Amino acid sequence: MTDNVWNRSLLRPLLISIMVTALVAGPLAIGQILAPQWKWGYALALIFLVALEAVYTTTWLAHPNRRQQRSWGFRAAELVTWLVILRLLLWALHGSYPSADDLRGWFDSPGSFFEPELLVIGGLLVVCWVEAILNARDLQELAMQPDELSRPPPGQSLSEWRAPLSYTTSRAHILQRFGRRWMWGAVVLLLFAAATQLHYQPGLGLRSIGIAHLGLSPLLAAALPIYFLCGLLLMSLGRLAALRAKWQIDRIDGGETVTRSWPRVTLLLVLVVGALAALMPLASTWRLADWLLTAIAFIINRAIAIGAYLIALLSALLNWLLSSTTPADTPPLPAARPDIELPPPPQHLPSTTTGLPDWLGSAVLWLLMGTIVIYALVVYLRGRGIRVEWQRLRDLWKWMRRLWHRWRRGVREAAQRARIGLARRQARGDPDPAPDRSGWGLLNWRRLSPEAQIRLLYLFALRRARERGVHRPPHQTPSEVVPLLSARWPEVGEDLQALTQAFIRARYGSGSFSSGEVQQTRQLWKRVRSALRPGQRSVKQP
Amino acid sequence: MSEIPILILVLLLVAVLLRLDIIFYLVYVVVGIYAFSRWWTGRGLRSVHVKRVFAEHAFLGERITVQLTLGNTAVLPIPWLHINEAVPLGLHTPGFVRRVTSLGPREHKRITYDLDCRRRGYYPIGPLEAGSGDLFGFAESQRSAAGVDYLTVYPEIIPLTHLGLPSKSPFGTISSQQRIFEDPARVSGVRDYRAGDSLRRVHWKASARQGSLLVKKYQPAISLQTVILLNLNRSEYSTRRSFDAAERAVVVAASIANHLVNQRQAVGLVTNGCQMMASGSADDGEKSTPTPLPPKPGRLHLMKVLEVLARVQSEETGPSPAWIQQASLPVSWGDTLVAITPVGDEPTCQALHQLCRRGLNVVLVVVEPHGPFGPVRERARRLGFRAFEVSRREDMNLWRR
């Protein structure tokens, strides 16, 4: 007695075959890129047929009557048959049937028989065949086994009779094994999808993946969702098989109603979730890359600001220490921190989109991604017996806040001490220290982003102007300051204008700067610096 | 499938790095299915409500149908629902009822099973444990969906025709041979007047028609107000046959009560056994001594007596002579007291003799005599009351002729 309902199902072999074919579509897509001259069109159909045959044979061999045929020899013969078919198919496709010379050549050097195309496609075929067998075997083991389906002999009641079987089949374990294989297959397929993003150009080698590189091979674009869909459906079917067997062994009635409605409910769930997922924000629709770059630039800018602040603080401390230990005639150290005031933003900012704000979609997307990451971590940790409790999170948050407050208080006290030191020194009549450039000099210029470099160049220009007596009133925008500076230094008026425009673009615009533009801005700054250098001629203000 | 979070993280990483819409879509699909499966498994089970309907009282030998109504109050379906109802082994083999079903949105399904009332008792039905899970094996959940209900199976009642219980209460409904208990409401005929007859007894109409004085003849009748004392002190029953003997004592008590109520007599019940009280679970039912039921007539009262007899079990209590004295205190003079005890030893008989001296009509029914019953009968006769032996079911035929 066998589980005919399960064994005669057409859906399961079909799903396994499609899933395995979708998995092999990953290396096929890579092969299409690397060897476009080969014929690849037939490979997918051939692999599907191989998978279907492997699944069918595995199911066929599961019947108790075919116990004798379940041997490695039988399966090896099956595989060799497929490889021979592939060999013949390749000859037929290329129209190059072997001649007598070819036969002699193969005899002399057997390696020449195995063309690269045969090896690659054959390797994929073997992988597909093995994968199909493993998946089919797992799902076959989930079916009810003949000893589980056996009935009591005539004259013996069901309640008194126990079947002579040992309950060694752990269907949960089998299902987990199948799910794990499906999952790692998905990871491999994803890696192949990632690999197709590598730009290969002969002579240039492999170029690294770029965040703005879009596009996926149509084969992989179809294979990915098909693989996931088939896997989920098969897992659902496996789950049903495991439950059916459990109910059968425990002699629980009513499983037929569940079996009837199961595929309908599964399909409904997958379709509904799939439809809802289609409504969610996706990467290309919400300019993810732009916001990613903006986020990176923001982080770098913040890091620069904090670094500059720390350097200035250290300088001030050093200055205070030296002033307290050196004689009075020792030349004073430069000031602690350059007093740079950011100009107010321009009144009319360039708008990148109309309707919804740009940040909305990305915010939603990142919020969702963050939620998913946190959810996955929580589930994973909970599965390992680690429970994330709110109380612990609150304690962690309090600890971090305490740490932050302590650090801030320390910085404030250090700054206070530095100010007191400066005030004492001024009270002693020490000359005003020269403007500090050492802090900026300590910065690693090459590590800054292009935008940060341009903003710093503009701020340097303003500081030079202030040293030369041209102060920017706080209410004036950068555009309003330019005429003031041009009037004082007319020989670099155009350079100042260009530098200001670059600053506005870097500070308030959404565009990015290339390295060439940064170099150009540095040239502008050098000209402006030479014009604003002390001792240079300038037009006196009326 | 504890590795699914890893898959989600890998998918997310690849999606963010490659900025591929299709992988973002897959992230949403996998996360959606995984999160929904885990969320709905627990929540869905909480929306399952179970109602159990059955006749809470049954007579021995009846078959009771229990109907379970499973309802899903949510708008989402329950893909599979496994129920496991605990039932007493005395009523159903095996001691559980298991079913699997699926419930659509707002769907109700009925599941029925039968209980064979093969033994008297007070049986807990339930609790019902419900289990469910998702479609992919990500999560499973279990909860107790219905509490415990109780089924009372009344003891066996053997129909009796006559008991021959003594009584000293006049103005009853049972005919008697003792003329002293003549009932003026039950006129049975007339006779000639004799000297000494009260003028109140003269039947004037018949005398006028006859032309000579005739007096009414009254039918003697007694009232058999009875209290049954059921001794279920386990220590007095033999270890080997204590269960059967105690059950027989209960059957005798139920049969006598039924017979007397059919005779429109008042019956009361006092026992020193214990009874199981209803509680929320099947395991921790509390035990208590049943409240004495004072003698009352009527079917309704009989059902109360039978309910106590259905629940009562033998229990280790104090010595029965002391208990008999104490339990018979509320019994009125002239009432009949049927003491059903395992043995008719000397202390028990002496205690019953004291009751006889108090004016009660005592009858002793011994259900498990450890020796020959003759000496017991003789001892009882000597002490002024009758004794019966019911050590077998056939012994009750004495009251069925």
What is the per-residue pLDDT across A451-479, written as a single tens digit (0 to 9) for each? 888 888 898 888 888 888 888 888 888 88
Complex confidence, ipTM: 0.71
Question: Are residues B256 and B137 both part of a single domain?
Answer: no
- For the ranges A48-52, A373-377, A500-504, the one whose mean pLDDT is highest: A48-52
Q: Which residue of A235, A236, A283 is in closest CB contact with B21?
A: A283
CB contact under 8 A, A247 and B25: no
Mutation site, B39, B100, B108, interface A, largest A CB count within 10 A: B100
Question: Are residues B102 and B206 both part of a single domain?
Answer: no
Calculate mean pLDDT across residues B3-27: 80
CB contact under 8 A, A262 and B15: no
CATH number, residue B386: 3.40.50
CA quadruple B289, B294, B296, B300: dihedral, nearest 10:
-20
Mutation site, A209, A246, A282, interface B, largest B CB count within 10 A: A282
* Domain ranges, residue B90: 46-153
- Residue A131's closest CA among A69, A88, A188? A188
Secondary structure element (H or E) that encloses residue A207, with its range: strand A205-207
Residue whose structure tokens are 């002190």 = B233
Is the pLDDT at B58 greater than 50? The verdict is yes
Q: What does the DSSP 8-state code read for residue A201?
A: E
Q: Which residue of B23, B25, B137 is in closest CB contact with A190?
A: B23
Residue whose structure tokens are 């079916």 = A143
CATH number, residue B132: 2.60.40.10
A-B contacts at Cβ under 8 angstroms: 175
pLDDT of residue A213: 44
One-letter amino acid of A536: Q
Task: Kindly report the average pLDDT of chain A as a whole number.
Answer: 78
Question: Are residues B235 and B365 both part of a single domain?
Answer: yes
Is the pLDDT at A58 greater than 70? The verdict is yes
Is the pLDDT at A296 greater than 80? The verdict is no
Query: How many angstroms separate the first and last alpha carbons of chain B?
Result: 75
Q: What is the pTM of this model?
A: 0.63
Does A284 reach chain B within 8 Å, measured CB to CB? yes
Does residue B5 form part of some domain? no
Task: Kindly report the average pLDDT of chain B as a whole number.
Answer: 86
Does residue B158 form part of some domain? no
Cβ contact B354:B327 at 8 Å: no
pLDDT of residue A187: 86
Question: Are residues B340 and B246 both part of a single domain?
Answer: yes
Q: In terms of CA atoms, which chain B residue is nearest residue A234?
A: B136
Question: Are residues B266 and B335 both part of a single domain?
Answer: yes
Higher local confidence (pLDDT), B94 or B111:
B111
Q: In b/e form, how buried is each residue of A236-250, taking b as 16+ CB within 10 angstroms?
A: bbbbbbbbbbbbebe
Calculate mean pLDDT across residues B13-25: 78
CB contact under 8 A, B22 and A216: yes
pLDDT tens-place string over residues B120-152: 988 999 899 999 999 988 888 898 888 889 999
Chain A partners within 8 Å of B11 (Cβ): 186, 190
pLDDT of residue A203: 53
pLDDT tens-place string over residues A229-245: 999 999 999 999 888 88
Does residue B149 form part of some domain? yes
Does residue B135 form part of some domain? yes
State the total domains in chain B. Answer: 3
Question: Are residues B216 and B246 both part of a single domain?
Answer: no
pLDDT tens-place string over residues B283-331: 555 778 888 999 898 899 999 999 999 999 888 888 888 898 888 888 8
Chain A window 345-384: which residues touch B at a Cβ cutoff of 8 Å?
369, 372-373, 375-377, 379-380, 383-384
CB contact under 8 A, A252 and B26: no
Does residue B311 form part of some domain? yes
Question: Are residues B175 and B307 both part of a single domain?
Answer: no
My answer on whether omega of the bond before B94 falls inside 30° of 0, hence cis, is yes
Q: How confident is the model at residue A214 (pLDDT cuts 50, 70, 90)?
A: very low
- Residue B363's closest CA among B375, B344, B372? B344
Q: How confident is the model at residue A1 (pLDDT cuts 50, 70, 90)?
A: low
pLDDT tens-place string over residues A127-179: 999 999 999 998 888 887 777 776 677 776 666 666 555 555 688 888 888 98
Chain A partners within 8 Å of B94 (Cβ): 159
Domain limits, chain A: 4-150+167-279, 285-443, 446-542
How far, in Å, CA of B67 to CA of A81, rounded? Answer: 61
- Residue B169's closest CA among B305, B290, B333, B319? B333
pLDDT of residue A209: 42
Q: How confident is the model at residue A125 (pLDDT cuts 50, 70, 90)?
A: very high
Does residue B166 form part of some domain? no
Question: Are residues B214 and B261 both part of a single domain?
Answer: no
One-letter amino acid of A157: S
Q: Which residue of A257, A278, A377 is in closest CB contact with B5?
A: A377
- Secondary structure of chain B in HEC code, one letter for each residue: CCCHHHHHHHHHHHHHHHCCHHHHHHHHHHHHHHHHHHHHHHHHHHCEEEEEECCCEECCCCEEEEEEEEEECCCCCEEEEEEEEECCCCCCCCCEEEEEEEECCCCEEEEEEEEECCCCEEEEECCEEEEEECCCCCCEEEEEEECCEEEEECCCCCCCCCCCCCCCEEEEEEECCCHHHEEEEEEEEEEECCCCCCHHHECHHHHHHHCCCEEEEEEEEEECCEEEEECCEHHHCCCCCHHHHHHHHHHHHHHHHHHHHHCCCCEEEEECCEEECCCCCCCCCCEECCCCEEEECCHHHHHHHHHHHHHEECECCCCHHHHHHHHCCCCCCCCEEEEEECCCCHHHHHHHHHHHHCCCEEEEEECCCCCCCHHHHHHHHHHCCEEEECCCHHHHHHHCC
Does B31 reach chain A within 8 Å, measured CB to CB? yes
CB contact under 8 A, A265 and B102: yes
Does residue B102 form part of some domain? yes
Does A186 reach chain B within 8 Å, measured CB to CB? yes
How far, in Å, CA of A455 to CA of A442, rounded? Answer: 17
Q: Is A332 helix (H, G, I), strand (E, B) or coil?
A: coil
Half-sphere exposure of B217 (CA within 13 A, CB side): 7
How far, in Å, CA of B244 to CA of A320, rounded? Answer: 105
